[in-house]
Structure 1
Amino acid sequence: MAEKIVMKMDVANDNKKRKAMMAVSMLPGINFMSMDMKAKKMTVIGMVDPVMVVDKLRKRWNAHFISVGPKEEPKKAETKKEEPKKTDAKKEQPRKDSAEHIGQLVKLYQAYNPQLTTHYSVIVREEDPNSCVIG
């Protein structure tokens, strides 16, 4: 499960911010990164070890954990009452069996490309007069 890691860092300018984000982005498992320069907070979301993230940052910057926890799930909207849906005449027709449908698609593809990819050509050096063999 993805974790949300929030760290406080002492970063002075955009150049140092870019370098810090590049250092953290090299770690595997990161899905999202952002940095708030006013609050001096970096947020990392993903399947990554929080200790590795802070160790990577502490090599050059002063970094401390603020919070580590599960990624917040978006709140679901209240369930709405379902109204009876109007059905179209086209939708009421039963679908064909999936095997038949796939068979028809294969036949259409064979008509479009009759050779498929079952034929391969191999060039033999002895038959090609333009090839150069040093021996």
Structure 2
Amino acid sequence: MKKLVVKLDLHDDRDRSKAMRVVSGFEGIGSLSMDPKDSKLTVSGDFDPVKVVNKLRKSWHTDIVSVGPAKEDDGKKDGGKKEEGKKDDQVANLVKAYQAYHSTPVTYYYVPQEETPDCVIC
């Protein structure tokens, strides 16, 4: 379970409802809540926060306030060690995804062609 808090630049109720509709289309969304006073959108569930933020940034200016695990009331301490290993793997995967991609430069060749001397117009 993850919790994502995003501040959006929303101007009216139409934008708010559109943002809620866009985010609710993702798989694994557990709950959505919008604070209209601060224009903060809170999303929790089992989802990919990168995809959600990228989708929101296509339409609105987006500031990420916080990303992290959702608070659980179970209080299980034994499962925490296994989850820490999973967190390290997830962080490593995110680092790999955000590494810069340096493409090789394209080489253009110019082949000069001589004009035919038999041309009357030239």
TM-score tier, shorter chain, comes to 0.5 to 0.7
Larger Rg: 1
Alignment of 1:63-82 (within 5 A): 63-74=62-73
Measure the CA separation in 1 of the matches of 2:37 and 2:64.
17
Aligned to 1:32: 31
1:15-54 CA-to-partner distances (Å, cap 9, x unmatched) read 1100011011111110100110111110000111111010
Q: Which amino acid aligns with 2:54?
A: D
Q: Percent identity?
A: 47
Shift of residue 9, structure 1, vs aligned partner: 0.5
Q: Which amino acid aligns with 2:45?
A: G
Measure the CA separation in 2 of the matches of 1:3 and 1:18.
22
Aligned to 1:45: 44
Residue-pair matches, total: 75
Q: Which amino acid aligns with 2:37?
A: K
Task: Quote the RMSD (CA, aligned, Å).
Answer: 1.4
* DSSP-derived class of the 2:7 partner: strand
User: Moved runs in structure 1, 4+ residues, more than 4 A?
Assistant: none
Measure the CA separation in 2 of the matches of 1:24 and 1:64.
15
1:68-122 CA-to-partner distances (Å, cap 9, x unmatched) read 111112388xxxxxxxxxxxxxxxxxxxxxxxxxxxxxxxxxxxxxxxxxxxxxx
Normalising by structure 1, what TM-score? 0.53
Show structure 2 runs of 5+ residues with no match. Answer: 76-122
